[in-house]
Amino acid sequence: MGGLLDWSRAESGGAPDFAPGVREALLATGSRTQLARTVTLFAELSGGRGRGASLRAALRDPEGAALPEPTEENRSWLPIEIAVLKALSGPYARRAARVAGLASGPTRSEDPAPYGNGALNPGMNRPGMNPPDPATGSPVPPGGGVPTPSPDTPDTRARKADQDMAPNTSATRYPRIGQPKVMGNVPPKNPNFTGRESLLAAVEEQLRADETAAVLPHALHGMGGVGKSQIAIEYVYRHSHEYNVIWWIPAEQDSLILGALADLARALNLDVGPQANTAVPAVREALRSGKPYDNWLLVFDNAEDIETVRGYFPTGGPGKIIVTSRNRDWERVANPLTVNIFERHESVALLRRRSRDLSEREADELAAALGDLPLAIEQAGAWHAATGMPVDEYLMLLEERRPGILELAPSPDYPVSVAAAWNISLDRLSESNPAARHLLEVCACMAPEPIPQSMLRGTRNVEVSPELDPILRDPVLLARATRDLSKLSLIKLDHKNGTLQMHRLMQTVLLVGLTPEETAKRRSAAQVLLATAMPGSPRSADQWPAYQALLPHVIASGAVHSSDPWVRQLVDAAVRYLYNWGAHQASAEMAREAWTAWQADSGEEALAVIQMSKWLAFVLRVLGQTDEAFALNTRALELCRQTDVPDEELLDSMGQMAGSLRYRGAFREALALDSEAYGRARDLFGPEDPSALLAAHNLGVTLRLVGDFTAARELDEETARQWELLYGPTHVQTLQTLNGLAIDIRESGDYTAARLLQEETYRIYRNVLGEDNAATIRAARNLAVCRRRDGLYADASALGEETVERFVTRYGWDYPDTLSAAINTSVERRLRGDLAGSHELGARVLARYQERMGLGHAYTLVAMVNHAATLRAEGDLGAADRLHAEAARRYRETLGERHVSALVADMGQASNHYARFDFARARTMDEATLATLVEVLGPSHPLTHLCRANLSLDLRGLGQAEEADLVNAQAVKGLSETLNPDHPWLMAARLHQRIEADIAPMPM
């Protein structure tokens, strides 16, 4: 049999058996459901009724079923039972360890209490320690219910098999065991999980049966308190050995999903930055492609908004998705599995597990009174274990509380039984530890997500409330309060992660019982606690995990409606964190909610209201909503000029307003405002002050946009020097100004110097901020243009394509940075001969600019001119003419006829005439453009020489060869002096070929 069987026992008179490890390897190849069915069939065989029936009983109740007798007759059977139990894993592995103890020798007279209700070793029963694992006698680390098997554990040894299915060889590979390679966010395993075997089997069958490429979620839905999440948690721990990646995703809020997926990106070691808008698309693609890991499982917990949650699913891929939800509409898009209340025997089993002195009859009575609702059963069991109250008395208390609960007119998702059970515990808590009850009510005003316990410990010098201050200032009292709450099963403590968590129904029960005045006080206390725990700068990536942990509680507590200045500061930091983290839309939504609430409470002239309105305007401008941003900035500046605000605030409002004007294409108005702001800042604070340097940077941006590159260069050189003296060469402000300085140098005509500067600036961006930081990608976009201007078309094209892809991945096609990068890439495609690709991209960008910014916007005109060049290359001179004429007219209306962009548009029109062999009109336009270029850019600028080279072709077309040769010689000489020897423009001039100029959109 090729080493599968061990015949040595047959030679000594026994029966042959599998070779060591073979049975375990064979059992591991099937599913747990298949193995359970095999056990059932074995029990029904005539030869297996004794041992098979015993094994089937263990299958149904691994903790309670009697252990096999360690007799001589059973000696050969015990290893078989152990192998089967270990293959089933989960609670069966614990039973396997107990059976293994029988097989190896004497055992203690009593089994250890399976969930820690019996006596523990000295020092084990202290806060922060879980009960011991009955299989090992060692404490289970909090949240670590399924430890990774090590090479020395019985579980590992039982699952090993031989490499070639022969004795005395290396172990055979078989379906993976132990923990997944990546597993995170999964709540701690519930040591008291009881029953639900049929539901767990159904989840397993549904997941195994779904072999389609498109990932289809398997929704566990039902009313609150029936244990949907607990079933998902138990499935994860039982089947963790079957997956390479398991990730738990709280799905009640959009920001929670983003945070969980961003954490997964880091866990997968994806080459992305910490920003959500980079990490989330990258992790979805990694899951879709199965790289670096296939065979993954995602659990979206409490997913109520179907369309929002589905938007985060990977589009196919080698993995599975489980959804838990109270929303029955998941049935339309998923394989539904309805979770109902307990079966009566499950209720009785859980009650007796939590409180072992309950009789079968008493447990049955309690279960009936509680309607078999799992959450209520758990609560009653914890209560009885903690107090020992007689069941009759407890039932009487339940009946007394039902009428009062019903009078509150609860929602259908508010089970009366669990509310009554909780109220009994809450009444007891009010008597024994009122401060703990008060703490519970404050936590009820936060989100049903983990609450960092560190938040409760950092309030020694802050007044939260008279009832709460004593325990928040005394770590002993605080520990006692949280321990009492946990003992009564009112909260769940996660000692591993240092958090506490409440069930959402517990929060509902508490808040329904409070008056409006009491609720307001508890919310205020929650908001003060959150404000006290505010992390550091929202721009610092190392602070983002702390902000992410607080964010759901900031939202749930209604902090945006607070008038407390410290709470408002927290809200301001939260909206800035969301923006810096990459959740721009979420930042805008939260900023709008805060601005609306604060304006209603404090009036529009309040400083905090003005500041929030400007932040909202800034994010809206980034999102492309320039009209609303302009209106907000206009009003903010009006208010700052009319009221007594700090000088810094007025300067900031002027800068923000100038930014809105630039985005609307009103460059001249922006220049006047930026000039005024810079003058004010220099007069008030001096030229080296950060406020003056920021105003100088903004003025440099506007000077570039109006085409005054010489003035912009002089200003930016000094500003960059001052930034470097103040903050150093790698600070973001230094880098931003250097990025602008490279544009100044490039547009002034020194293409090589601009490229070299930008290569170094981009290198620093990458090293300091990371490859996928938004500012780094913008620097890459600028570098691609600098390379193109310096004649490095292939390098420019490669970087440009990559930049567009990164912007699309982060923000989508409608994002302003995406569109401006795509304009450049369309030019680079044309230059490398990909006219179809250039046309497709150029037309798309032009259409989006026309729709979003209007026909007269500067970016729309840039797209027109560049797309016209592609149309001309394709031979569509009519379409190219129309675009050039429209762009030239609008440039003259908005920027004037001497603006460089208008002159490039004129050169394009001249090329259209030349392509039609209308050399006279081409000459007329080129001569006029050349004269203006000499005045605006100077006689030695490459664009001036380019226009001169094209003019020589017009003259040659008119038969004026001698003059054409003279003009061409001047152009070639000039280009030779300003460009690299192998620059395509210089080569074209030497070969008497027409040269196309293009426009690169400048940052606003």
CATH of the domain at 198: 3.40.50.300
Per-residue pLDDT at 49:
55
Whether 80 and 23 map to the same domain: the answer is: yes
Helix (H, G, I), strand (E, B) or coil at 338: strand
| Mean model confidence pLDDT for the chain | 82
Answer yes or no: do 116 and 220 share one domain.
no
Residue 143 shares a structural domain with residue 214: no
pLDDT reported for residue 458: 64
pLDDT of residue 329: 76
| SS3 at position 113 | coil
Whether 166 is covered by a domain: the verdict is yes
pTM of the shown model: 0.69
88-138: per-residue pLDDT in tens? 765 676 677 777 776 655 433 333 332 233 332 333 333 333 333 333 333
Residue 724 DSSP one-character state: H
Q: Which domain-ending residue is among 403, 432, 461?
A: 432
Bridge pairing between strands 335-338 and 182-184: unpaired
Query: Is residue 748 in some structural domain?
Result: no
Select from 275, 306, 338 the last residue of a domain. Answer: 338
Find all residues with CB under 8 Å of 655, minimum gap 6, and list them: 674, 677, 694, 695, 698
Contact between 796 and 983 (Cβ < 8 Å): no
For 64, the enclosing helix (H) or strand (E) is none
CA–CA distance, 382 with 386 (Å, rounded to integer): 6
Same domain as 166, residue 186? no
pLDDT value of position 107: 37
Predicted local distance difference test score (pLDDT) of residue 199 = 76
Co-location of 348 and 274 in the same domain: no
Judged on CB neighbours under 10 Å (0-12, 13-18, 19+), 692 is buried
* Domain-terminating residue out of 432, 456, 479: 432
pLDDT for 172 equals: 29
Residue 350 lies in a domain: yes
What element of type H or E holds 728?
none
511 in a structural domain: no
- Helices and strands (H, E) in the chain, number of each type: 45, 13
Give the contacts of 263 (CB within 8 A, at least 6 positions apart). Answer: 184, 185, 247
Q: Which two tokens stand for residue 443?
A: 């936590």
Q: The domain containing residue 248 runs over which residues?
A: 182-338
Q: For residues 393 and 403, give the distance between their C-alpha atoms in angstroms, rounded to a whole number.
A: 17
Q: Are residues 266 and 328 in the same domain?
A: yes
Number of domains in the chain: 3
Query: Does 148 share its domain with 216?
Result: no
Positions of the chain with pLDDT under 50: 106-177, 211-217, 220-223, 405-412, 414
Looking at residue 667, what is its pLDDT?
Answer: 92
> 831 lies in a domain?
no
Summarised one tens digit per residue, pLDDT across range 857-887 is 889 999 999 999 999 999 999 999 999 889 9
Taking the C-alpha atoms of residue 228 and residue 490, their distance in angstroms, rounded to an integer, is 18
Residues 283 and 229 reside in one and the same domain: yes
Residues 147, 121 share a domain? yes
Query: Looking at the structure, do residues 190 and 71 belong to the same domain, yes or no?
Result: no
- Residue 22 included in any domain: yes
User: Does the residue 946 lie in any domain?
Assistant: no
Assess whether 161 and 186 both reside in one domain. no
Residue 383 and residue 318 share a domain: no
Give the tens place of pLDDT for each residue, 427-452: 888 888 888 889 999 999 999 889 99
CA distances 662 to 123, 702, 922, Å, are 68, 7, 33
Answer whether residue 62 is part of any domain.
yes
